Amino acid sequence: MPLPPRAAPAVMIPLQPESPDDVLPFAEFAVRRRARRLWMGQSLRCDAAQIFAHLAGGGLRVAVGTGVSLMALRTPYDAALQARSLALVTGRPVVAGYGTATPAFVASLHGEPWASARTAAGEFLAAMRALLDGGEADGRGTYHRVRAALPPTGPHAVVEVGAGVLRPAMARTAAASADVAVSWLTPPDYVRDVLVPALTAGADLRTPRVATVVHVAVDRPGRDPARIADSVVAAHLGAGHYVDMLRRAGVPLRATDDPLVKAKQLVESGVFVFGDPPHIARELARYTSAGVDEIVLNTGGVLFTHGERESLADLEDVFTAVEELHG
């Protein structure tokens, strides 16, 4: 018997698609296995919101989330409009998750980086939340001066504002306006001991729930876990803020380490979860115990090294193992 949607894991589309056909197998899986939600990161090929709308138009209606889109690409008004439009078009709940991107990316679009990414994020999220709540953004920001309101509409599915969160300072900033803190590569003990307390400290009315993207791969003959992990997290492990977060979490990474060495450390520390399906299900349960409300499975490493069919097979086996663990 499948788990109810709220208890089931969510699924990450593990690629930047060039057409809706690229994501159909993952969307069909999410619908068939009653996944909690279908997530997609920032795509600079085919935008996530348009992909989700296309899927809904084709009959694949599922709760969706962006984890995360980049603030530098939109105004808070456009972000709120896109999110509400998705809720209206799909008829399903939406998490509109946004992150700050790298200073270099911000500078490439705006001429210079934000002097304070935390301030920019706080303003963006607050304006977006006010607009989605039916109010008017106050227009007093340093980076986002929005003084407007969205035209009213009829009833629609719930829209949650999400924020990309790795470290406690951003967690405190995001907690003032966000409904969901979206994290990548954050070990369960780090979520429990660092992020959740910071989210609680920064929250005005209620603490945001936590959605964590967890990279997984099933141990099968011929698979090299370090190579699988490297294929999907190499860019993250080359970014200073990820290395800093993981070192705070007790993973002994150095920015100068060889990429495969860093990937192997992720596997050995359990941040990249590799093993048989029952082992993976037990490791995922640690995230739930640590305060993670929504676990987002990413089998991108398997997709990049062994292909789509094996990536989907891993999702099938992990979903079944999670059902058996909780059944």
DSSP helix/strand/coil, 40: strand
Q: How many residues does the chain have?
A: 327
DSSP string, 147-194: --BPPP-S----EEEEEE--SHHHHHHHHTT-SEEEEES--HHHIIII
- List, in sequence order, every beta strand (DSSP E) within the chain: 10-13, 38-40, 64-70, 94-99, 159-164, 180-184, 209-218, 273-275, 294-298
Question: How many angstroms separate the CA atoms of 116 and 112, rounded?
Answer: 12
Q: Per-10-residue mean pLDDT for the chain, 327 residues long?
A: 69 96 98 97 96 96 96 97 97 97 93 95 96 91 94 95 98 97 98 98 93 98 98 92 94 85 95 98 98 98 98 98 92
**Distance, CA of 128 to CA of 255 (rounded, Å):** 35
Residue 15 one-letter amino acid: L
Enter the pTM of the model.
0.95
Residues with Cβ within 8 Å of residue 244, at least 6 apart in sequence? 167
Q: For position 140, what pLDDT does the model report?
A: 86
The pLDDT value recorded for residue 245 is: 96
Per-residue DSSP letter, 73: G
How open is the CA angle 128-174-16, to the nearest 5 degrees? 70
CA distance 105 to 113: 8
Q: How high is the pLDDT of residue 3? A: 60
pLDDT for residue 5: 52
pLDDT value of position 2: 57
The answer to whether 127 touches 99, Cβ cutoff 8 Å, is no
For 239, residues 6+ apart whose C-beta sits below 8 A from its C-beta are 102
Looking at residue 276, its pLDDT comes to 98
In DSSP terms, 95 is beta-bridged to 65, 160
| 3-state DSSP assignment of residue 259 | helix
Supply the pLDDT for residue 253. Answer: 87
Structure tokens at 158: 């719930």
Token representation of residue 110: 């705006």
What CA–CA distance (Å, rounded) separates 162 from 177? Answer: 9
The candidate with the shortest Cα–Cα distance to 313, out of 325, 297, 326, is 297
